[in-house]
Amino acid sequence: MTNEGAAATTIAEIAKEAGVSIPTVSKVLNGRPDVAASTRAHVEAIIDKHGYRRRKSRAQRNGTGLVELVFHELDSAWAGQIIKGVELVAGAERIGVVLSELGGEHRPRQEWLDDVLARRPLGVIFVLSDVDDTQRRQLASRNIPFVVVDTAGDLPEGVPAVGSQNWSGGLAATRHLLGLGHRRIAVISGPADVLCSRARVDGYRTALDEAGVPVDPELIRYGDFFVGGGYTHGSELLDQPERPTAIFAGSDNQALGVLRAARERGLRVPEDLSVVGYDDLPVSDWLTPPLTTVHQPLTEMASTATQILLRLVRGEKVRNSRIDLATELVVRDSTAPPPAQA
């Protein structure tokens, strides 16, 4: 048996069954690009068939090396809070962190995964992204564990994930606005195919239903979590003949865009329009007015995910595969009762 093989199957046996050389199998395992796609797929199928698991590298056994941190997009302060949380844990263990971005996609291309396999990190943390079944098996066969932070969609049973209570956050934000007397409340969320986006809108719907306020589809918008999306949707909502008196934005960045749209229309916040954000980024307390928002424990989510990943690297069992941390409404100065004429 080679020093890379699993207990039951060796690289030599895989090579013999696949009808290729041992170096070719090694290249596939290492994510090398110089293997034909058809040959790679054939070898991967045999690796999967035998449940082959590569022995842990020396770095994995010693707890040193690198962790791959993967974002679907990287250009926001939101990402900075996630990086901070990962670094808090990884730095204390003297483990480096490599950043990757998927260019807005929620699932990596195979070429990207091949590069990761070649780097052989201790493990991977996916943020608002995930891998398909084939890619999961490829990571497993190389003994590279992974954890998902703020999953973009439903995950298979047993995939470790750390998120927050998005439904409760949407519920709390909308209840707050209803308690102030608002009835025409709009919501701007992230992409409709992202789980946390839908969960926040579901919380919004539940709060309206509790209060006996009909849900107006014209007041529900899906877009992205960035400033531009908040500005575009906020402008459209505020240009309606019967504009909303309050807007619940699915991120603090979106709320920034809404605030600009309101200023351009001569609307005062909170006198003419109440605005609630989501995330509680450090900048939210420095806005004018300071932003009422839902605190999402981003740093704690990332730290928890990193702790779970390092436990998996050490071969420990993880009892709870899904952890959702609590959210909390932070009331500042961007919300108030609706104007009397509204």
Q: What is the pLDDT of residues 208-225, one digit of tens each?
A: 999 999 999 999 999 999
Please tell me the distance from the alpha carbon of residue 143 to that of residue 315, in angstroms, as a whole number.
10
3-class secondary-structure state, position 64: coil
Please provide the average confidence, as pLDDT, over all residues in the chain.
Answer: 88
Please tell me the distance from the alpha carbon of residue 206 to that of residue 84, in angstroms, as a whole number.
33
Q: At 103, which amino acid appears?
A: G
- Rounded to a whole number of angstroms, the CA Rg of the chain reads 24
* E strand or H helix at 186: strand 185-189
Q: Tell me the pLDDT band of 32, cut-offs 50, 70 and 90.
A: low
CATH homologous superfamily of 64-164+299-327: Response regulator (3.40.50.2300)
Please tell me the distance from the alpha carbon of residue 310 to that of residue 122, in angstroms, as a whole number.
8
Q: At 110, which amino acid appears?
A: Q
> Region 32-59: what's the mean pLDDT?
68
| Domain segments of the chain as ranges | 11-49, 64-164+299-327, 166-296
- Whether 271 shows a pLDDT value over 80: the answer reads yes
Instruction: Check residues 57 and 262 and name the one with the higher pLDDT.
Output: 262
Q: Tell me the pLDDT band of 7, cut-offs 50, 70 and 90.
A: very low
53 Ramachandran zone, left/alpha/beta (phi>0; psi -120 to 50): beta
- Whether 4 shows a pLDDT value over 60: the answer reads no
Q: Which two tokens stand for residue 265?
A: 């229309």
Whether the upstream peptide bond of residue 270 has omega within 30° of 0, thus cis, is: yes
**Is there a contact between 162 and 151 (Cβ–Cβ < 8 Å)?**
no
**Is there a contact between 76 and 104 (Cβ–Cβ < 8 Å)?**
no
Please tell me the distance from the alpha carbon of residue 276 to that of residue 258, in angstroms, as a whole number.
10
Which pLDDT score is estimated for 31?
61
Considering the domain 166-296 in this protein, what is its CATH number?
A: 3.40.50.2300
Q: What is the dihedral of CA 33, 39, 43, 49, to 10 degrees?
A: 130
Q: Which two tokens stand for residue 4?
A: 């890379």
Instruction: Check residues 117 and 335 and name the one with the higher pLDDT.
Output: 335
Q: Where are the alpha helices (DSSP H) in the chain?
A: 11-18, 22-29, 37-49, 58-62, 77-92, 110-119, 133-141, 166-179, 195-210, 227-238, 252-264, 298-313
- Whether 6 shows a pLDDT value over 50: the answer reads no
Burial class (CB within 10 angstroms; exposed 0-12, middle 13-18, buried 19+) of 315: exposed
Distance of CA 204 to the CA centre of its chain: 20
- Whether 272 shows a pLDDT value over 90: the answer reads yes
Give the β-pairing of 123-127 and 96-101.
Answer: unpaired
| Angle of CA points 240, 244, 247, to nearest 5° | 120
Q: Do domains 64-164+299-327 and 166-296 have the same CATH topology?
A: yes
Q: What is the pLDDT of residues 105-161, one digit of tens each?
A: 888 888 888 888 888 899 999 998 888 888 888 898 888 999 999 887 778 888 899
Q: Which two tokens stand for residue 227?
A: 């400033």
Distance of CA 190 to the CA centre of its chain: 12
Q: What is the pLDDT of residues 303-320, one digit of tens each?
A: 999 999 999 998 898 888
Range with the poorest average pLDDT among 9-18, 189-198, 234-243, 293-302: 9-18
46 Ramachandran zone, left/alpha/beta (phi>0; psi -120 to 50): alpha
Which pLDDT score is estimated for 64?
53
Q: What does pTM read for this prediction?
A: 0.81
